[in-house]
Amino acid sequence: MSPAIEVGKDTDPDTRELSGPTDEEYASSTNDGVQQFAYSEERKIGVTGAVFLILNKMIGTGSGILTFCGLSVFLEFGLAIPLSGGEKNYLERVYRRPRYLASCVLAAQMILLGFSSGNSLAFGRYILAAAGSKEGDGWTARGIAIACITFVVALHSIFPKWGLRLVNLLGIFKVVIVIFIVFSGFAAISGRLLIEPPGNFKNAFAIEVTENYGGQGAYGYATALLQIIYSYKGWENANYVLGELKNPRKTLAIAAPIAIGGVTILYVLANVAYFAAITKDDLATSEVLVAGLFFRNVFGDSAAARALPAFVALSNLGNVLAVSFAHARLNQEFGKEALLPYGKFWASIKPFNAPAAAVSIHLDRC
């Protein structure tokens, strides 16, 4: 294995210094033992960008209190170790022996299992649905999925600034859509529905057992909790790119609570909206189509309801953009520490001042 790479006391956080002799595979092109990976200040991300990096991964992936517990841990580590790489740095700090074991396990997990094929395929399915096709998961959807991830990789590799701008734009779009659902729910509560009001708020805390829901005991609660926690996944996304944040400690401390607090409030209000417009039986059997049922019950077969698949497709695209941007930085960190073969290649930010090689790993896995 190549020698360890450490951050010196007087070095820039974005510069890694080799603590031992270099080999041909990892040596600096200037043969001075130092490999530069720094980004210019104009390329660094502010509070708004960090908020939408987190928000884009959280909204559209699938309890707020549990999420804030996880955030408190990552805030503690992130403020103490303001470097890109997320849990790679934290595991290395906590589990120092056997050396590199935690990093290698994480690298194997992220390289082999960290992919966006699911959201890319969902993007393809919903694009077809928006076009009126009933094809489903056929080759057309898969072709669109490949085009989606290829576009994302090319954008982040060649035009990194525009990649971040699109992340921010889609983040704003997601928030607007969820707010639209919330206010539509308020209208449903006031009786503006195309169906009979479901009356879910009458005896709201009564325990019921029907053919479609209830009676599963602890297993049912555990399953529901797991699905809820998954819907909050993404709160750690900004920790992967701390080295590219302006004033990383201050930015993370502001952006992470804003993003997670905002999403938590919107999720709670969105659930109120769903209960105001959809019967319990339909909610229990809707699986992932609950938003479609909501739009149908509130708007009928209108343009707003027919546009829902396009909205969901854009949400999936935002998730793919946010995940590929952040995970590329983690792959780059693996390259910097020579945990991947030809580490210098995977760590490089040439020729467009972006980790194109590290982003391309995301394409290979999909």
Lowest mean pLDDT among 49-63, 86-100, 110-124: 49-63
Q: What is the pLDDT of residues 270-325, one digit of tens each?
A: 889 988 888 888 887 766 567 778 888 888 877 666 788 888 888 889 888 988 88
Domain ranges of the chain: 5-200+227-365
Q: Give the pTM.
A: 0.75
Would you say residue 18 has pLDDT above 60? no
Q: What is the pLDDT of residues 104-156, one digit of tens each?
A: 888 888 887 766 777 888 888 888 878 877 776 788 888 998 999 999 999 99
The answer to whether the CB of 354 falls within 8 A of the CB of 331 is no
Would you say residue 22 has pLDDT above 50? no
Average pLDDT score over the chain: 78
Phi and psi, residue 190, nearest 5° = -80, 0
Percentage of the chain with pLDDT > 70? Answer: 81
Q: Which pLDDT belongs to residue 8? A: 40
Would you say residue 21 has pLDDT above 70? no
Q: What is the pLDDT of residues 211-270, one digit of tens each?
A: 767 777 788 778 777 777 767 777 788 888 888 888 889 999 999 889 888 888 888 898
Contacts of 355 (CB under 8 A, 6+ apart): 157, 328, 329, 331, 332, 346, 347, 348, 349
Q: Which pLDDT belongs to residue 2? A: 41
- Matching residue, tokens 């890694």: 16
Quickly count helices (H) and strands (E) in the chain: 15, 3
Residue type, 216: Q
Percentage of the chain with pLDDT > 90? Answer: 9
Q: Which pLDDT belongs to residue 24? A: 36
Provide long-range contacts, Cβ within 8 A and 24+ apart, for 42-47: 43/160, 43/161, 43/244, 43/353, 44/244, 44/245, 44/246, 45/164, 45/241, 45/244, 45/245, 45/246, 45/251, 46/245, 46/246, 46/251, 47/251, 47/254, 47/255, 47/258
- Residues 104 and 135: their CA atoms lie apart, in Å, by 41
173-202 average pLDDT score: 86
| Sign of torsion over alpha carbons 183, 189, 190, 195 | positive
Beta-strand runs (E) in the chain: 5-6, 15-18, 34-36
Count CA within 13 A, CB hemisphere, residue 264: 15
- Residues 342 and 186: their CA atoms lie apart, in Å, by 56
Q: Which pLDDT belongs to residue 155? A: 93
Q: What is the pLDDT of residues 177-188, one digit of tens each?
A: 889 989 999 988
Q: Which two tokens stand for residue 267?
A: 């999720």
**DSSP of 83-99, one letter per residue?**
STTTHHHHHHHH--SST
- Residues 279 and 293: their CA atoms lie apart, in Å, by 10
- Residues 6 and 100: their CA atoms lie apart, in Å, by 13
- Residues 107 and 101: their CA atoms lie apart, in Å, by 10
